[in-house]
Structure 1
Amino acid sequence: MEEQENKLGTAPIGKLLVQMSLPAITAQVINALYNIVDRIYIGHLPEVGSLALASLGVAFPLIMIISAFAALIGMGGAPRAAIAMGAGKKDEAEKILGNSFSALFLMSIVLTVLFLLTSDTLLTWFGATEKSLPMAKSYFTIYVLGTISVQMALGLNSFISAQGFSTMSMMTVLIGAISNIILDPILIYGFDMGVRGAAIATVFSQTISAVWVILFLTGKKTILKIKMANLKIQKEILLPAIALGVSPFIMQSTESLVQLTFNAQIKHYGGDQVDILISAMSILLSCMQFFVLPVTGLTQGAQPIVSYNYGAKKIDRVKKTFGLLVKSALIYTTTVWALVLLFPTVFIRLFSSDPQLLAIAPGYLRVFMSGMLLLGAQFSCQQTFVALGQAKVSMFLALLRKIILLIPLALILPLVMGFNGIFIAEPAADVLASLSTSTVFFLMTRKLFSGEKTSLND
């Protein structure tokens, strides 16, 4: 166990970043398959595929909120645990893990009850029409019943990554995703269950992942263990973790607010094509969310390295990790930007063969993702602030892209530019956020990297 911990502070940065990031990237991409595969299968249902795709597009933002609460605890607690490990405070790190486990469990109960009681209202807010509401509710209700599995699988898996067990973290996601991919066609088509089958497959798969995570974190191979003595919630342990988790929570939950805004604007400006346009937006958001996942995985792979070495006051290793991270992220986002511009129809066909969608969606995809070019820098800087334990600035930067920029632009630009302004809002916000975040990062990290502030409570 000591050898596993020491490699974060001693192994060559390039080799370590590859070892940590590849499984994290794989896990992120595989995790996306839970919903992407659902949409692909559902979108190709005979006769009702486009309507079913619109239904999942309405339910998906609410599903993202459930995942965001897992990030609030897991991605807030895990970097603090890694910093504590780097500072030689294993007992404190295990207290963070134990408190996070209890918080995830309690939050699951609250979210399940809340969403079951308000599902009709929420789905309508998020764009469900009279036609799409029954399918959307069918999928969402089943998914909500599996909230505890989602919380445990996603939230606790961050603590596996934080210890340097990147391959084990990837396996958590892999076993669930493979189960989902196998079960989807069996339940959707074989048992003719449609969207209900997709939801059941997802919940069952997440449950398998949750059991896997808990078994590992209570087993012999883990450095940090879930212990009964640490399950009692202590505000001085949990609240700082939640404060740091606000940033990834905002990044995930605001996807829901963004889709709510987009769908509301489409309902206002879309005329008699509302359902087909919401289907198109569902595909565009799916593509965007999928393409940013490798960058997210890359930053998650770098986080334990940055956090551990920051806690150990090895600032040169922190700087070297960040430099390699931002270069790698920009190379990736530039490549994706070029592929989308050249081959947009290829990506649209993955989700639907509907002639109406194929006529309008490729052009919108080119516009929608044109800001991808710079997002590598934005994600690298913002997530490195999380790894450094800087809760306040990371929270502001998480708010910047979606809340401060994107949502207002999605509301204002259509007034000036007409319907197309809805799709232009995304790249405009991406470019502005990337430039702003990079500037803030390089101004603020001079002090952080000087070694003046390395306390967990900074």
Structure 2
Amino acid sequence: MPKVSSQELGHQPIGKLLIKQAVPASIGILVMSLNILVDTIFVGNWIGSTAIAAINVVLPVSFFIAALGMAIGIGGSSIISRALGANNKIKALKTFGNQITLTILVTVLFVIFGLVYINDIVPAFGGKGAIFEPAKIYYRIVLYGVPILALCMMGNTVIRAEGKPKFAMYAMMFPSVGNLILDVLFIKIFDWGMAGAAWATTISYALCFGFILWYFLSKNSELKIDLKHFGLNTSIVKEISSLGFVTLTRQAIVSVTYLLMNNILFDLGGETSVTAYAIVGRMLMFALFPVYGITQGFLPIAGFNYGAEQYARVKESIITAIKYAALLATVIFVFLMVFPEVITKLFTQDADVLIETPPAMRWVFAATPIIAVQLIGAAYFQAVGKAIPALLLTLTRQGFFFIPLIFILPEYFGALGVWMAFPISDVLSTIVTAYFLHREVKTNLNPKTEVKST
């Protein structure tokens, strides 16, 4: 593979560059999402529908700890992209070293806490009744591998910051394929049940880590760090933390949402409603992969060109990313509105779940065509290092709108009110994001203020 320089982020046409960055990101997310999707199908058909609910209980806990790595990764990668754009290689190297140190320290501490309080955490996130025992089995094993997953998520964002999306894609593909093979081996052939599903997931994290480690040790990476870069630097740690806090807050809100949704739905409809939410949640991860791919591809382009003070290119990247993402979101919307029953049958044959899930899926994805504005808008502020507006926009959908709605609407509409909260919060958060993004573009991305020529 020919060597690609990060400097291309500042020179290639935006449309071509976005496709070049987004397609590998989308493929990587697709493979990872397919892995989660097929893994859930395997678990539902080979272990049972309760096992799907059990995994859904564990995911917010393990993903939150892993998201610490993603938060450190995205926060640091924003710094790295802008540093490379400004030709400040020393700062880029020091930032990367600090990212590794922070990820290891923070995630190991959270894992220890999570294991000590396992009997309290699992029920708190909805692991009640018949769900408790399989959730506890899955939780314990998966948590062992979460620090490795956090390092993988951190490393993946740095690879993108270097302008190497294909390697980031490979890093997501290897563990996904490995996990599916191990699922068949551990669940179907060895009949290890929930423990088999958990070990397949944990071992797949190690496969991802092995590839990322190889990448940074090879000639493909521009970031060749040594021991002096691992020592924590106060100013860099502060900047990583302020930007990474946006991602961490997003994932924390997601975890809180899972906690609330699992408990609210359990009270309203028992294991059936929790299983329906688990299936819909898998589709939220899977179906929107090209939109998330556009968002991932947009981040290094916006960050690099902002660091290089090429503001016209930043503005163009925003507009182009929103157009591409909106088009893809609309196609996804049509598909999900037409085939929710077919999708649900892939996961389970449980009659009650088959009745509840399709209408829930239609409500959850009802506002999908407009979410591109919200995703790209929040990503822009994070990419250019504006932590406070990035944080506030990240909180709008689930923190400011969705969580209050899932308490209010069920009082009037029952379980339907929970599903209605999804499109209403999407519409409201998109309006808020559009306002702030428009003001930012008009005020700070005026080509007249540009210093360096494109």
Q: Which amino acid aligns with 1:41?
A: F
Matched, 1:440 2:436: yes
Select 1:389's aligned residue among 379, 385, 391.
Answer: 385
State the alpha-carbon separation in 2 of the partners of residues 108 and 225 from structure 1. 24
Give secondary structure in 1 for the equivalent of 2:415: coil
Q: Where does residue 143 of structure 1 map in the other structure? A: 142
Which residue in the other structure is 1:314 paired with?
310
Structure 2 residue 2 is matched with structure 1 residue 6: no
Structure 1 stretches of at least 4 aligned residues deviating more than 4 Å after TM superposition: 451-455
For the pair 1:108 / 2:107, whether they are aligned, the reply is yes
SS at match of 2:218: coil
2:286 aligned residue (285, 290, 313) = 290
Distance 1:347 1:377 in 2: 27
Corresponding residue of 2:57? 58
Separation in 2, partners of 1:343, 1:302: 30
Contact residue 315 and residue 441 of structure 2 kept, 8 A: no
Match of 1:68 in 2: 67
**Deviations 1:203-257 (Å, cap 9, x if unpaired)?**
1111111122122123322112232111011121111112111222222232211
Give the aligned partner of residue 171 of structure 1.
Answer: 170
CA offsets 1:382-431 (integer angstroms, 9 cap, x no match): 11111111111000011111111101100111112222111111111111
Deviation at 1:332, TM superposition (A): 1.1
Kindly indicate whether the alpha-carbon contact (under 8 Å) linking 1:8 and 1:16 is maintained by their aligned counterparts in 2.
yes
Closer, same or farther: CA 3–333 of 1 in aligned 2, 3 Å: closer
Listed one character per residue, the Cα deviations across residues 98-155 of structure 1 (whole Å, up to 9, x for unaligned) are 0001001112211220111112211101111131111001111000011221011111
In terms of mean alpha carbon deviation, does 325-334 or 205-214 score higher?
205-214
Residue 98 of structure 1 pairs with residue 94 of structure 2: no
Q: How many residues align?
A: 450
Asked if 1:267 corresponds to 2:266, the answer is: yes
Query: TM-score if structure 1 supplies the norm length?
Result: 0.95
Kindly provide the CA deviation profile for residues 148-184 of structure 1, in whole angstroms up to 9, marking residues without a partner as x.
Answer: 2101111111100111100011111111111111111
Q: Using the alignment, how far apart are the partners of 1:77 and 1:146 within structure 2?
A: 23
The question of whether the paired residues in 2 share the 8 Å contact of 1:34 and 1:202 is answered with no
- One-letter amino acid matched to 1:181: L
**TM-score between the two structures when normalised by the length of structure 2:** 0.95
Contact 2:67 2:150 in 1 (8 A): no
Separation in 1, partners of 2:140, 2:4: 45
Distance 1:175 1:112 in 2: 24
Give how far 1:305 is off: 1.1
CA 1:410/1:454 → structure 2, altered by over 3 Å: closer, same or farther? farther
Question: What amino acid is the match of 1:8?
Answer: L
Task: For 1:37-436, list aligned pairs within 5 A.
Answer: 37-45=38-46, 48-270=47-269, 274-436=270-432
Change (3 A) 1:453 1:415: farther
* Worse overlay, 8-17 or 246-255: 246-255
SS at match of 2:59: helix
Alpha-carbon offset, residue 3 of structure 1: 5.7
Tell me the CA shift for residue 451 of structure 1. 7.2
Contact 1:310 1:454 in 2 (8 A): no
Residues 4 and 163 in structure 2, CA contact (< 8 A), matched pair in contact too: no
